[in-house]
Amino acid sequence: MADFPFTFDMPFPRWIPTRVDNHIIRKLSAMRGQYQDGHAYEEMLKNEDTVIYEVYEVRRPEIAGEFLMGVSVVHPGMVGAEFFMTKGHFHRLIDTAEVYLCLSGEGFMLMETPEGDASVNPISPGRVLYVPPRWAHRTVSTSRQQDLVFFFAYPANAGHDYGTIEKKGFRKLVMEVEGQVQVVDNPRWEKP
Ligand code: S6P
Ligand code: ZN
């Protein structure tokens, strides 16, 4: 039996979809090793296992031809001088792309390829960001008060490879330096 077309809404101002098949809550404890300041990370975790981001997924069968969609919400906050962010990943089927549409908040999308190309794009409401095949991607929330909220859609059979990023993180970090938001080199990636 063929699937029927369907609709859902993303009501302002929270944008949470009216259809949600899976709600992922990613806490600080799931991010060990990803923030540059390991001491600040452990101190913060002793106090509370803070929710860093949430994903509201609209699921479909994980087969070629289908799309997965949803809304991600990265909360405001910092670990040491580094802003809250998603784990970030390559797609397991690395030749699959993804589309993001920022709905509220502000931040950056960090992207890079296995070949060493890197790209950092500011995102703010109304901005669409295209992640081409082969580019790992991580979102970083830089607002002091507001959640960074975005809609995403990607091939349902893409899968996720988190392990590659877990080894050294992304090539760039988003930090507060002297009161300013700055994109800096990740010291875990040695210079060529
Ligand atoms: C999936 C897509 C998003 C992220 C989500 C959380 O391909 O890029 O749904 O899964 O923003 O990020 P992460 O890195 O924890 O999956
Ligand atoms: Zn993705």
Render pLDDT for 22-65 as a digit per residue (tens, 0 to 9).
Answer: 999 999 999 999 999 999 999 999 999 999 999 999 999 999 99
Nearest to 88 by CA among 57, 114, 63, 110: 110
> pLDDT at position 3, please?
84
Residue among 15, 86, 95, 111 to mutate when testing ligand 1 (max atoms within 8 A of CB): 86
Question: Taking CB atoms and a 6 Å cutoff, what residues make up the pocket around ligand 1?
Answer: 26, 55, 70, 72, 86-89, 98, 137, 152, 154, 160
> pLDDT at position 171, please?
97
Instruction: Provide the phi-psi class of 159: left if phi over 0, else alpha when psi is between -120 and 50, else beta.
Output: left
Structure letter (DSSP) for residue 28 = G
Closest ligand relative to 86 C-alpha:
1
Residues 6 or more apart whose CB falls under 8 angstroms from that of 1 comprise none
Residues in the chain with pLDDT < 50? Answer: none
Strand order in the sheet with 180-185: 78-79, 82-83, 172-177, 180-185
Asked whether the beta carbons of 174 and 181 are under 8 A apart, the reply is: yes
- Taken in order 62, 68, 73, 78, the sign of the CA dihedral is positive
CATH topology of domain 22-185: Jelly Rolls (2.60.120)
Q: How far is the CA of 88 from the centre of ligand 1 (A)?
A: 7
Q: How far is the CA of 86 from the centre of ligand 1 (A)?
A: 7
Q: How far is the CA of 178 from the centre of ligand 2 (A)?
A: 32
